[in-house]
Amino acid sequence: MHGWMGKMAEVDLTTRQVKIIKGDPEQYKVYLGGRGLGARILYDRVDQKIKPFDPENCLVFTVGPLTSTSAPTSGRFSLTTKSPLTGTICESSSGEKWGWQLKKCGFDALIIHGSARTPTNIIINNDRIEFKDASDYWGQTVSATKKKILSQYGRNADFLSIGPAGENKVLISCIMNNGLRALGRGGLGAVMGSKNLKAIVIKESSRTVPVADPEKMKFVVAESNKMLRAHPITSKGLPEFGTTALVNIINEAGIFPTKNFQQSQFQDASKISGETIAKKIFVKRTGCAGCFIQCGRITRTKQNEGEGPEFESVWALGANCGVGDLETVANAAYLCNELGMDTISTGGVLACAMELNQREKIKIDLRFGDGKKILKYIAKIATREGIGNEMAEGSKRFAKKYKSEAYAMQVKGLDLPAYDPRGSQGMGLSYATSPRGACHLKGGYMIGAEILGAPKMINRFTRTGKGSYLAEVQNQEAVIDSVIACRFATYALGAPYWARLLTAVTGITYTGEDLMTLGERIINLERLYNLREGFTCKDDTLPKRLMREKVSNGPAKGQVVDLKPMLEEYYQFRGWDTKGVPTKEKLKELNL
């Protein structure tokens, strides 16, 4: 077998037993790895009777056939579980080196279930997996945990860990990757915390990935790298400014949500932009294993230093909360990382609380533009102190408690990211149909075509054709999440390039068309999972504000999201019935 290592590790935290499972070659072939393989494993193991915090819920870590090879941006991995925030299937991916090392330990997947009686760390040393007491780690921040791990297991150790938020089962907590990157959305840190699992440490890895045709691989990689170095986004925009290069672009397009989506442009956007970050707090570039784009940023304020803030964090803790002070926004992002919290959902629930206060639904000393209070409430959420205990449940539950659901900007319980869909109709459909709730990554990044003109420019205000176009985008992105590579690379590389890379690595002939079918299979499997959990077409919707309240000014003035016709076209193109259920014919076609 080439490309895959041929085995998976199953870890039972309750019994402290490890089982090595032989991988299914046919399953590898049709799901690849990453998101696809994770969806298949979760569907088979975690059904509707299992709740997110039940020991039977699984954390499914998966790599792909390109991981740890010379393929560009192939240093990523995926985690799939049932989300405690949304109840949906929830897949998240991250970079750095952890996934690279897991593959070099000889595993295509690490499946963790059960619940430890006391705080526990999992230590992986090549194919040996051990359990270590983590009582002295429990309660530690992410940076303190990192310091202890590197001291105990060596400077080359790679690890995933939760912070206090995950330990307290905060529903917007995340899992931090080497203390820098995050498996951010859906409350994944809370699932790990419910299992009394503090960290997963890879101490040593020494295996190499078998490649079917090394010479062909070398040639295709060289061609791919030429494309990446020629494209303006991957060769200039991202390396120079990171993801925050988008701040001014999105604001000028009139889709930069401000003050909980009450406005669509932020007057202080330039103060928190990538250009300003580069001038005022930038320290150095950083990036993931096997990637020359180096889109990450190490920054430093007067009070602290850390990675980021990325575009979504700048928006969520900045414009969405009406805060235009860069140092405050950066410090808030650093604090979220320290405590292990999703910056998008943290900004979402903070902005929701601000609007509830503005409308006198609650009394709280938290107002739009008050940056100093943001840090205070981030800490309260992580420790579940006072009203922070309510905010820790996410904006949907928080707003519902005060009979103010209309002010929670979420879909299926997951807070919207940094694009107002009233000025980007395709993103509205993307949010509504994303399997894990409102998400620019798992729903389909329509900003590429509607705003950036990549791979081509399409009219962002039209509705016709958006359903079919989005479906194709989702299919391709599901493939990229399964091979598994970085989405940024897709600006320069289309499906035929990934097919050639896969063919060279695995020895199995893939075409671009094959990959699109594979992506469609994954999307349908995720849909089946959510349908089994009780979700229906009624959940494929948006906050009423976005469908009823017109944008008051700017380039998107007068716009609302006209979701119904786009959703109908999307269902029809997918081969789903009018209620969003895949037909028997479609499932047969996809061998589901």
Q: What is the pLDDT of residues 354-383, one digit of tens each?
A: 999 999 999 999 999 999 899 999 999 999
Picking from 297, 235, 563, the residue whose alpha carbon sits closest to that of residue 421 is: 563
pLDDT band at 345 (very low <50, low <70, confident <90, very high): very high
Under DSSP, is residue 179 helix (H, G, I), strand (E, B) or coil?
Answer: coil
Considering the domain boundaries, does residue 496 fall inside one? no
Considering the domain boundaries, does residue 229 fall inside one? no
Rounded CA gap, 151 and 163, in Å?
18
Rounded CA gap, 560 and 439, in Å?
19
Model confidence, pTM: 0.97
Considering the domain boundaries, does residue 360 fall inside one? yes
pLDDT by residue (tens digit) across 467-487?
A: 999 999 999 999 999 999 999
Q: Which two tokens stand for residue 415?
A: 């807070």
Residue 290 has pLDDT above 80, yes or no: no
Identify the CATH number of the domain in which residue 448 sits. 1.10.599.10
Return the bridge partners of 414, or none. 411
Rounded CA gap, 477 and 523, in Å?
10
Amino acid at 474: Q
Considering the domain boundaries, does residue 213 fall inside one? no
Q: In sequence order, what DSSP letters do the residues of 332-375 get, joined into one string?
A: HHHHHHHHTB-HHHHHHHHHHHHHHHHTTSS--S--TT-HHHHH
Q: Quote the number of domains for the chain.
A: 3
Q: Are 280 and 326 in contact (CB under 8 A)?
A: yes
- Whether residues 41 and 151 fall in one domain: yes
For residue 450, the model assigns a pLDDT of 97
Residue 43 has pLDDT above 90, yes or no: yes
Which letter does DSSP use for residue 264 in this model? Answer: S
- Whether residues 193 and 335 fall in one domain: no
- Whether residues 407 and 448 fall in one domain: no
Instruction: Read off the pLDDT of each residue in 552-558 and give the average, rounded to a whole number.
Output: 96
For residue 499, the model assigns a pLDDT of 96
Considering the domain boundaries, does residue 216 fall inside one? no
Rounded CA gap, 77 and 292, in Å?
18
Q: Which two tokens stand for residue 138?
A: 């429990």
Rounded CA gap, 40 and 31, in Å?
8
Average pLDDT, the chain: 96
- Whether residues 461 and 354 fall in one domain: no
Return the bridge partners of 129, or none. 124
Residue 292 has pLDDT above 90, yes or no: no
- Whether residues 578 and 485 fall in one domain: yes
Place of tokens 């699984």: 58
- Whether residues 339 and 437 fall in one domain: no
Q: Which two tokens stand for residue 390?
A: 């309510």
- Whether residues 301 and 258 fall in one domain: yes
- Whether residues 370 and 427 fall in one domain: no
User: In the listed set 355, 380, 413, which residue is the last one of a domain according to the structure?
Assistant: 413
Considering the domain boundaries, does residue 105 fall inside one? yes
User: In the listed set 365, 393, 413, which residue is the last one of a domain according to the structure?
Assistant: 413
- Whether residues 184 and 269 fall in one domain: no
Identify the CATH number of the domain in which residue 17 sits. 3.60.9.10
- Whether residues 394 and 270 fall in one domain: yes
- Whether residues 445 and 398 fall in one domain: no
User: In the listed set 187, 204, 221, which residue is the last one of a domain according to the structure?
Assistant: 204
Which DSSP helix (H) or strand (E) runs through 250?
helix 246-252
Measured between its terminal Cα atoms, the distance across the chain in Å is: 24
Picking from 494, 278, 459, 261, the residue whose alpha carbon sits closest to that of residue 368 is: 261
Cis peptide before 455 (omega within 30 of 0): yes
Considering the domain boundaries, does residue 222 fall inside one? no
Considering the domain boundaries, does residue 497 fall inside one? no
Instruction: Read off the pLDDT of each residue in 213-220 and give the average, rounded to a whole number.
Output: 96
- Whether residues 27 and 128 fall in one domain: yes
Domain containing residue 38: 7-204
What is the number of alpha carbons within 13 Å of residue 554 lying toward its C-beta? 22
For residue 237, the model assigns a pLDDT of 87
Amino acid at 100: W
Identify the CATH number of the domain in which residue 356 sits. 1.10.569.10
pLDDT by residue (tens digit) across 313-328?
A: 999 999 999 999 999 9
